[in-house]
């Protein structure tokens, strides 16, 4: 009787020891096109580290071993510390030592936001938990600069490409991280409803010391060295830098009440905190808290768009990797027309996301060039944040299904991607907040709409379908009736028009045609995998293959 083989056959190799950057043609082309090509060699080296088997394993360990809260030490002293698995610290070190938090603030070459965006997209394809403190640290710089003397004291350590997780005063550390604590139970996104009270010590005023008492409903990455927090000062809602350690070297009155039990983003700790006579410095003027912290929020919203792009790309890469090696019914899955349609549809979504996210990153680089560029960034950021984050959960779910039952098993990365997919939409203003923010921007600077349409005009005449779509969109935006109720549909259309413009101008014809046919003229169903007949799905899938274009697995 023949022996039965126990060897697993017809299984795809794990997607590891590949280059996350070099295997992503859309990202490489956008990096060059948008002005960050000078970092290509460094980005490729970083992409190899992100896709290495050791990094993939670290990402898995960080996810499976959740943070643990230690409110007191064994002697009963209040310490308010969170313990992380060593793998989490490995990922944090990878990010900070590579300058993901500092590059746009330390680099002088044009395209520095674009260059960092490529690195950030790559890093988010490891585990997006550490990306949260990286983003907040990166985005805190504009807010700190509202108070130059405080920025001068904190920036040298903040911008150091060093990771130092030790719980000790900042003067004893090589590098520091900064978080944020804005929302409260009673208000959520309505931060003006905050009830935390800030009382001046001595004379108070910009850069002065204050005593904070209150709570924060969401404080992500509570082991950061300081937090930007909003509180009600005598002059109104104000922004404060609240350190974990007071200037005299004692622990600040920042008490972690509990860690949130979250759907996703599990490797990162998110907490509820109480401010018990906490010490903080006022950044900017009293009553100008939102204006002070808004630049931090704008930069974190850019990172939400980049993070969504990363999850989308990672999900597509996993699906293509599986389907090119798995055989069913006598053929590779990738060669079967219906599966090829699904994969191509997902790949088009990923490329469109990459094009939009990287174009918005360039807008941040160009803001100093004039009012038009600044207005474009102001409009494009909420558009990209809304749409890319909304699309990601659908992509993750469809990509998971491409792996069948294997994709539903925790040992695959797909359940993590599926759980993580909604976080960027929720964080830093949900979908409705983004839409209302856009309407507010258009109301305050009506000329920004013409700046947006000037960007679309760069593709005018390239395709009649796009021209008709843009003309219709202009008419819909000109109708001011019920704008708020229609806001989601308008922002969606603005995102699609911008993505189509970018793809028509820069993507291979087959990708642009698939996008125009399915997203602009609407010749598709409601699910992925419903591209119209005649689309060269094979060419699209080959372009999205993470093992191609220098990304081949070792």
| Tens-digit pLDDT profile for residues 243-270 | 999 999 999 999 999 999 999 999 999 9
Mean pLDDT over 352-366 rounds to 98
Q: Say yes or no to pLDDT of 422 above 50.
A: yes
- Give the total residue count for the chain: 554
Output the six-digit token pair for 134: 């990286």
Q: For 267-316, how does the pLDDT look when each residue is reduced to its tens digit (9 = 90+)?
A: 999 999 999 999 999 999 999 999 999 999 999 999 999 999 999 999 99
Asked if 304 and 385 count as a contact pair (C-beta separation under 8 A), the reply is yes
Instruction: Grade residue 7 by pLDDT with cuts at 50, 70 and 90.
Output: confident
Asked if 502 and 359 count as a contact pair (C-beta separation under 8 A), the reply is yes
**What's the CA gap between 122 and 48, in Å, rounded?**
9
Give the pLDDT confidence score for residue 350 in this predicted structure. Answer: 98
Mean pLDDT over 208-216 rounds to 97
Output the six-digit token pair for 433: 């907040």
Mean pLDDT over 328-353 rounds to 97
Which H or E run includes 263?
A: none
Residue 53: exposure state from Cβ atoms within 10 A (0-12, 13-18, ≥19): middle
Give the pLDDT confidence score for residue 57 in this predicted structure. Answer: 98
Give the pLDDT confidence score for residue 5 in this predicted structure. Answer: 66
Work out the percent of the chain whose per-residue pLDDT is above 70.
Answer: 98
Which H or E run includes 334?
A: none
Give the pLDDT confidence score for residue 10 in this predicted structure. Answer: 87
Output the six-digit token pair for 60: 């898995």
Which H or E run includes 503?
A: helix 487-506
Give the pLDDT confidence score for residue 186 in this predicted structure. Answer: 87
Q: Say yes or no to pLDDT of 494 above 80.
A: yes
Asked if 398 and 347 count as a contact pair (C-beta separation under 8 A), the reply is no
**What's the CA gap between 130 and 268, in Å, rounded?**
6
The domain spans of the chain are: 25-158, 177-289, 292-544
**What's the CA gap between 482 and 463, in Å, rounded?**
31
Q: Say yes or no to pLDDT of 554 above 50.
A: no
Give the pLDDT confidence score for residue 42 in this predicted structure. Answer: 98
Q: For 396-408, how does the pLDDT look when each residue is reduced to its tens digit (9 = 90+)?
A: 999 999 999 999 9
Output the six-digit token pair for 319: 């699906």
Of 269, 273, 256, nearest to 67 (Cα)? 269
Give the pLDDT confidence score for residue 426 in this predicted structure. Answer: 93
**What's the CA gap between 12 and 139, in Å, rounded?**
39
Instruction: Grade residue 1 by pLDDT with cuts at 50, 70 and 90.
Output: low
Q: Say yes or no to pLDDT of 56 above 60.
A: yes
Indicate the CATH number for domain 177-289. 2.40.110.20
Side-chain half-sphere CA neighbours of 457 within 13 A = 7
Of 540, 528, 477, nearest to 503 (Cα)? 540
| The Cα angle at residue 463 between residues 459 and 467, in degrees rounded to 5 | 70
Output the six-digit token pair for 92: 């944090």
Among 189-203, 435-449, 479-493, name the one with the lowest average pLDDT. 189-203
Instruction: Grade residue 189 by pLDDT with cuts at 50, 70 and 90.
Output: confident
Output the six-digit token pair for 275: 């401010």
Q: For 90-132, how does the pLDDT look when each residue is reduced to its tens digit (9 = 90+)?
A: 999 999 999 999 999 999 999 999 999 999 999 999 999 999 9
Q: Does domain 292-544 have CATH number 3.40.640.10?
A: no
Chain-centre distance for alpha carbon 262: 17
Instruction: Tell me the pTM.
Output: 0.96
Q: For 216-245, how does the pLDDT look when each residue is reduced to its tens digit (9 = 90+)?
A: 999 999 999 999 999 999 999 999 999 999
**Mean pLDDT for the chain?**
96
Mean pLDDT over 528-539 rounds to 97
Place of tokens 């997006």: 128
Number of H-type helices and E-type strands within the chain: 19, 11
**What's the CA gap between 113 and 367, in Å, rounded?**
11
Asked if 552 and 47 count as a contact pair (C-beta separation under 8 A), the reply is no
Q: Say yes or no to pLDDT of 332 above 60.
A: yes
**C-alpha distances in Å from residue 92, one per residue of 112, 124, 134:** 21, 11, 8
């Amino acid at each position: 009787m023949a022996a039965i083989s126990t060897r697993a056959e017809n299984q795809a190799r794990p997607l590891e020891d590949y280059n996350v950057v070099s295997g992503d043609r859309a990202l490489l082309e956008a990096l060059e096109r948008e002005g960050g090509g000078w970092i290509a060699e460094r980005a490729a080296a970083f992409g190899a580290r992100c896709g290495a088997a050791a990094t993939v394993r670290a990402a898995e360990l960080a996810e499976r071993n959740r943070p643990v809260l230690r409110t007191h030490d064994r002697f009963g002293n209040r310490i308010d510390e969170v313990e992380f698995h060593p793998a989490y610290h490995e990922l944090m070190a990878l990010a900070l030592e590579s300058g993901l938090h500092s590059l746009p603030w330390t680099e002088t070459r044009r395209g520095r936001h674009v260059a960092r965006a490529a690195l950030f997209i790559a890093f988010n394809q490891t585990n997006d938990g550490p990306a949260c403190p990286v983003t907040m640290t990166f985005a805190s710089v504009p807010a700190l600069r509202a108070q130059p003397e405080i920025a001068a004291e904190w920036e040298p350590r903040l911008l150091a490409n060093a990771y130092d997780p030790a719980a000790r005063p900042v003067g004893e550390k090589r590098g520091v991280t900064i978080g944020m604590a804005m929302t409260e139970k009673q208000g959520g996104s309505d931060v003006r409803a905050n009830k935390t009270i800030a009382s001046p010590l001595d004379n108070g005023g910009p850069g002065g010391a204050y005593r904070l008492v209150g709570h924060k409903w969401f404080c992500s990455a509570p082991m950061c060295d300081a937090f930007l927090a909003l509180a009600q000062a005598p002059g109104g809602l104000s922004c404060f830098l609240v350190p974990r350690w007071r200037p005299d070297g004692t622990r600040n009155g920042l008490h972690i009440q509990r860690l949130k039990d979250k759907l996703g983003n599990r490797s990162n700790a998110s907490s509820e905190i109480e401010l018990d006579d906490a010490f903080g410095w006022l950044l900017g003027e009293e009553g100008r808290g939102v204006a002070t912290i808004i630049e931090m929020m704008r930069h974190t919203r850019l990172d939400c768009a980049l993070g969504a792009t990363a999850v989308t790309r990672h999900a597509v890469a996993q699906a293509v990797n599986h389907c090119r090696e798995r055989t069913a019914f006598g053929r590779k899955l990738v060669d079967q027309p219906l599966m090829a349609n699904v994969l191509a549809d997902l790949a088009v979504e990923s490329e469109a996301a990459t094009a939009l996210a990287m174009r918005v990153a360039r807008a941040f680089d160009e803001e100093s060039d004039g009012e038009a560029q600044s207005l474009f960034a102001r409009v494009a950021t909420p558009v990209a944040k809304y749409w890319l984050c909304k699309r990601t959960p659908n992509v993750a779910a469809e990509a998971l299904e491409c792996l069948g039952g294997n994709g539903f098993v925790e040992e695959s990365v797909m359940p993590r991607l599926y759980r993580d997919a909604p976080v960027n939409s929720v964080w830093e203003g949900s979908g409705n907040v983004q839409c209302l923010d856009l309407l507010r921007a258009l109301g305050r600077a009506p000329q920004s709409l013409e700046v947006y349409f000037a960007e679309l005009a760069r593709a005018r005449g390239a395709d009649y379908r796009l021209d008709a779509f843009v003309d219709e969109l202009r008419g819909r935006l000109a109708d001011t009736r019920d704008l708020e109720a229609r806001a989601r549909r308008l922002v969606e259309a603005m995102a699609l028009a911008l993505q189509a413009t970018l793809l028509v101008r820069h993507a291979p014809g087959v990708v642009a045609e698939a996008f125009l046919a399915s997203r602009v003229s609407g010749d598709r169903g409601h699910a992925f995998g419903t591209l119209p007949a005649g689309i060269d799905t094979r060419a699209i899938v080959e372009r999205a293959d993470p093992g191609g274009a220098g990304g081949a697995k070792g």
